Structure 1
Amino acid sequence: MNDTSNEASAGGKLANAQEKPGKAKKVLLTSVSSDAHTWNLVYMQLLLEQSGHEVVNLGACVPDEMIEQECLKGLTAGTDGSAPTETPYDYLIVSSVNGHGSIDGERLMKRLRSNPLLQTLPAVIGGKLTTAAGHDLAVESQKLVAAGFDAVSDDSSKCGAFSDRVKLALAGKASASFDEVLQVFQGALPAPAKSA
């Protein structure tokens, strides 16, 4: 965890995350159910698409069940009831601006992780996650990780840090692995060198 950005992450599910090295990633981008802001989603979509990734943007005020249904599209378990070998999305990115990301995100992720088919879908959340006065960002982040998010970036005290981290994590390389994305979220990787 980096003391200036208040990110948290969980590493346990990463070994099971589906990776497609060398290919553009397919990203499901959404907001939480109570967040009506769209500018953050449009910006994030453009940022990801300019980096070569395919984005499905569900928009604002998306009910939890709709996000779950979209995550499950085309996904079936193995004939023996085992987990699927490939998920339709490489990442789930949840963005919040209104400060309800902590409450809504925790509920959403508990729902998604309770479905055996979605337990390994790499998921990150960021933006303004709470408006509570005197809240402890580390505690809020840990609650979201405990609910099932792989990385959390709380921008309650600054604007744009979440999108900056996504941009840095995926900048110019569609082949970024989820481990690389998480390292950037955690502040462990430097910014990529600018091409001349």
Structure 2
Amino acid sequence: MKTRTLTAALLSVSVLGAGNFAVAQQTAPTTPSTGAPASPTTPASPGAPAAPMAAESKLDGKDRDFIENAAQSGHMEVEGSKMALEKSQNPEVKKFAQQMIDDHGKAGQKLAALAKSKGVDVPTDPSLMQQAKLKTLGMRDDGFDEAYAEGVGVSAHEDAVKLFEQASNEVKDPELKQFATETLPTLQQHLQMAKTLEQSVKNAKPK
């Protein structure tokens, strides 16, 4: 009887010891790994600027149309005036043509830079209709001066003045509106010069 009691007591002690050992294993702190630590992920700084993106146009449709039409108008003036320098023998025509090349060339460069800053590509040629008119003008020998003064001088500048007057009132982009407003007086001056030239050329025709 005593032997059974002693045996039971020893078994109880063994079970309790094993249980405590298991609990000790579960609660023991994990030993840090001796390998290379993982690289921590650095969160993005909330104040850091985003990577720059390509310029994207946010211009109104009418503003974009103005850029296109103004650029094409300028190209017509320049190309027609270069033609006049080659074909005309009239000093007044040549003088007017050179001024058109200079003034419209500068305005075109300014417009192109402004358009680029707003993500818009400008045309590099006149419109198809304007190209057809220039082709017809280039085929003229007799009467070239009068055709140039009327077509590239008066008619084209009447269209340009209307275009820039409308843009001065309707364009929404402030910088583009300023360009139209500042360029308009020069175009109006060109128109008056063209009318004077046209009359002078007509008077110079042999009767």
TM-score by length of 1: 0.27
- Point out the structure with the larger strand share: 1
TM-score by length of 2: 0.26
- Point out the structure with the larger helix share: 2
| Structure of larger gyration radius | 2
